């Protein structure tokens, strides 16, 4: 056991925890003001709900020894998850530290999806959806990639901090739910404007800050690899923010705050799977290019295809995540991480194929299971609020609160 490593991962856990409220403000600023509390509420509810589910059975399902597909239930209620290290996951920190670090990833992943169906989902159905999605989608995919015996892990797929498990997984679920719940009323005629862009900037700042814990904490030690992850994370976010702004400057004549924030988040998403395997030049390319792909998805393809991914959860997280996972297969180098592998540009095309397979499997699984869950809940209790409730707003109809008063 190493006290430096333990201290670092504990701090990183707190940083990742802050990402979910950060996401709440990032998303909350983008919706209309009649729905801002509903987004904040959904994020905070997920934080509470998943924290509880994780210690009760979630961690066990994802990480306990089981088969290639899913973990066992022997670690339910943290039975056997003690204060000594569990060497298969982390030899130098208490097992419970690893568990709580992973808990924060399990919290933010389902929260990412809500950007797709923002402003129109019934809260009770949302709660059921999150419970089922965490259990039937997140836990298995997490086990495949990170769990002992998980089949993608055994195949040699590299995912340093959760590009496949977190971002592609949530991003695909976002696309499925956006398609199935249907567009917001009048969204095709008048795109609802973000009600508070300073909130979006605040949320971006909190996400960026927390992401140091997400990526640099994923080395599970206070060492050189953590330093590498920290540096490439910052570099990719910055490069992506610049390139999004540049695209807008070139295309629309003016760069926007919303754009640079979206770019920074896209950069953070893309560097996530690669953070422990690429050097700073890889990070620059990953960051500079991710904005082009995400911009294309959010600003060009989405309006053409007409699905209403309200806050671009798919456009940023899935597209950014896929690019990051594939880019790991291009730019990974054993010079950065001897436990990793060499990518295509370092003479090993095989890794790229493995990465592409891992992406493909995750997409198909998340797509199918999310669609089934959605359909079942929709039939049983209805996913969408009534048109009248949508008109009045989710804050008042789902929570009996409003964010802003007009008179004192």
Site string for another protein, 345-384 (x = CB under 8 A): ----------------------------------------
What are phi and psi for residue 121, nearest 5 degrees? Answer: -95, 140
Alpha carbons 175 and 20: distance in angstroms, whole number: 20
Alpha carbons 358 and 350: distance in angstroms, whole number: 13
The minimum distance between CB 399 and another protein, in angstroms, equals 8
List 83, 87, 379, 406, residue binding another protein (CB under 8 A): 406
DSSP 190: S
Stretch that binds another protein, among 194-202, 276-284, 291-299, 398-406 (CB under 8 A): 398-406
Site string for another protein, 31-70 (x = CB under 8 A): ---x------------------------------------
Size, binding site for another protein by CB under 8 A: 15
Q: Closer CB to another protein, residue 6 or residue 397? A: 397
Q: Closer CB to another protein, residue 190 or residue 254? A: 190
Stretch that binds another protein, among 120-128, 215-223, 237-245, 395-403 (CB under 8 A): 395-403
Q: Which residues contact 90 (CB under 8 A, 6 or more apart)?
A: 5, 9, 97, 98, 220, 221
Stretch that binds another protein, among 162-170, 184-192, 279-287, 338-346 (CB under 8 A): 184-192
Helix (H, G, I), strand (E, B) or coil at 186: coil
The minimum distance between CB 310 and another protein, in angstroms, equals 16
What are phi and psi for residue 90, nearest 5 degrees? Answer: -160, 110
Residue 198 buriedness (CB in 10 A; 0-12 / 13-18 / 19+)? exposed
Question: Using an 8 Å Cβ cutoff, are 263 and 200 in contact?
Answer: no
Helix (H, G, I), strand (E, B) or coil at 267: helix
Q: Closer CB to another protein, residue 5 or residue 395? A: 395
List 83, 87, 189, 347, residue binding another protein (CB under 8 A): 189
Helix (H, G, I), strand (E, B) or coil at 67: coil
| Residue 392 touching another protein (CB under 8 A) | yes
List 84, 88, 350, 391, residue binding another protein (CB under 8 A): 391
Q: Is the dihedral of CA 204, 291, 258, 402 positive or negative?
A: negative
List 76, 123, 185, 356, residue binding another protein (CB under 8 A): 185
Q: Closer CB to another protein, residue 379 or residue 407? A: 407
| Residue 14 touching another protein (CB under 8 A) | no
Question: Using an 8 Å Cβ cutoff, are 92 and 1 in contact?
Answer: yes
Q: Closer CB to another protein, residue 136 or residue 392? A: 392
Q: Which long-range contacts (CB under 8 A, 24 or more apart) does 377-380 make?
A: 377/125, 377/128, 377/129, 377/132, 378/125, 378/180
Interface residues toward another protein, by CB under 8 A: 34, 185-186, 189-190, 388, 391-392, 396-397, 400-402, 406-407
């Amino acid at each position: 056991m190493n006290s430096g490593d333990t201290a670092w991962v504990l701090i990183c856990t707190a940083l990742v925890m802050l990402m979910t409220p950060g996401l709440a403000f990032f998303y909350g600023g983008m919706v209309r003001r009649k729905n801002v509390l509903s987004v904040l509420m959904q994020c905070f509810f997920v934080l509470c709900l998943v924290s509880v589910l994780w210690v009760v059975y979630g961690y066990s399902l994802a990480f306990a020894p089981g088969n290639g597909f899913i973990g066992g239930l022997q670690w339910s209620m943290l039975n056997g998850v003690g204060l000594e290290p569990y060497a298969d996951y982390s030899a130098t920190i208490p097992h419970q530290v690893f568990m709580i670090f992973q808990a924060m990833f399990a919290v933010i992943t389902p929260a990412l999806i809500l950007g797709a169906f923002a402003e129109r989902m019934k809260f009770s159905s949302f709660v059921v959806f999150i419970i089922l999605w965490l259990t039937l989608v997140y836990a298995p995919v997490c086990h495949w990639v990170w769990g002992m015996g998980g089949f993608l892990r055994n195949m040699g797929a590299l995912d340093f901090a959760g590009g496949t498990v977190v971002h592609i997984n949530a991003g695909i679920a976002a696309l499925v739910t956006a398609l199935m719940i249907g567009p917001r009323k009048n969204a095709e005629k008048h795109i609802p404007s973000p009600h508070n862009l300073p909130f979006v900037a605040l949320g971006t700042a909190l996400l960026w800050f927390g992401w140091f814990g997400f990526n640099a904490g994923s080395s599970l030690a206070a060492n050189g690899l953590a330093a590498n992850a920290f540096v490439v994370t910052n570099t990719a976010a910055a490069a992506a923010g610049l390139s999004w702004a540049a695209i807008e400057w070139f295309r629309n004549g003016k760069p926007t705050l919303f754009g640079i924030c979206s770019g920074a988040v896209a950069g953070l998403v893309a560097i996530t799977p690669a953070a422990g395997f690429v050097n700073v030049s890889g990070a620059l390319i990953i960051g500079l290019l991710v904005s082009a792909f995400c911009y294309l998805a959010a600003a060009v393809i989405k309006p053409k295809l007409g699905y209403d991914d309200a806050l671009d959860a798919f456009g940023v997280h899935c597209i950014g995540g896929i690019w990051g996972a594939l880019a790991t297969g291009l730019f990974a180098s054993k010079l950065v991480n001897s436990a990793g592998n060499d990518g295509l540009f370092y003479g090993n095309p095989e890794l790229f194929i493995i990465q592409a397979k891992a992406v493909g499997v995750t997409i198909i699984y998340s797509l199918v299971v999310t669609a089934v869950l959605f359909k079942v809940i929709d039939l049983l209790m209805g996913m969408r609020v009534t048109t009248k409730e949508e008109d009045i707003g989710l804050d008042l109809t789902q929570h009996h609160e409003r964010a802003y008063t007009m008179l004192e």
